[in-house]
A and B are shown apart, each in its own frame.
Chain A
Amino acid sequence: MTNTTNRHDRISIQTEDFSLADEVDYLEDNNVEDGAVVTFCGRVRNRNLGSNVKGLTLEHYPGMTEKSLQNIIATARTKWNIGRVCVIHRIGKLTIGEQIVFVGVTSKHRGDAFSANEFIMDFLKIEAPFWKKELTDEGEKWLDSRGSDTTKAQSWNDSDDTPNA
């Protein structure tokens, strides 16, 4: 991964919560080239597939997770002209309303950062080795992957990568 990982990529897999303000500071600090900062934050919903969700446990494959995210970011860098990238994913036990995942991307103009952010999130959903176990009123259950997530990620192969070129 030596030649594809940009020095401005920050990847963190962590149990503790993160601060949106701190992550935006990281993306913007000493960065006057980029006029666009696009951030996405995913949180634990209270309902899923008709069940009341009390919380989640997130498991991951240490080492492979980081490598997978580096690969996804490297691919995004081949498609768009982007500056800094930050991906944070939490693991362990989470309760409803808690933050799970953060993706932040900067670019000179907004189009590249919007597209790259969505691309990174779409491929994180289908490639990065994380697994959610949901605690509901009916007990604990590992979530099944969704075909719609695969379809969404694959749609990038067919689309124009540079909408604001």
Chain B
Amino acid sequence: MTIKVNFFAALREQLNCSEMQLTISAPLSVEQAKQLIISQQPQWSAILTNGSLLNAVNHDIVDDDFIVSPNDELAFFPPVTGG
């Protein structure tokens, strides 16, 4: 089972990655998903643990303890600057 993970804006450029598929065996929290990504891409650790990053699941902003399920869409991005 997989979840799709998107990265945007400055974060996307820092990671040089706009999206990835994360294989999971059971639902897990956003924080656990982040740690799973870091275990696969250790060089991303400092960038992904930046406390100002926002998380979204299925297009809603969520906290780090929100539970992500298979086939969900997870996204990480910097604070927004539109308008």
Contact = CB atoms under 8 A, between A and B. Distances in A.
A60 interface: yes
Interface residues of A, number: 27
Contacts of B78: 131, 142, 145
Which of A64, A127, A129: most chain B Cβ within 10 A?
Answer: A129
A63 B19 CA distance: 15
A129 B60 contact: no
Interface in B46-83: 56, 59-61, 75, 77-83
B80 A128 contact: yes
Interface residues of B, number: 17
Contact of B9 (A42, A68, A131): A131
A39 to B, nearest CB: 15
Given A130-B82, A131-B77, 18 more contacts: A60-B82, A61-B8, A61-B59, A63-B59, A64-B59, A64-B60, A89-B82, A101-B83, A121-B83, A124-B83, A125-B80, A126-B79, A127-B80, A128-B80, A129-B8, A131-B8, A131-B78, A142-B78
Interface of B: 6, 8-10, 13, 56, 59-61, 75, 77-83
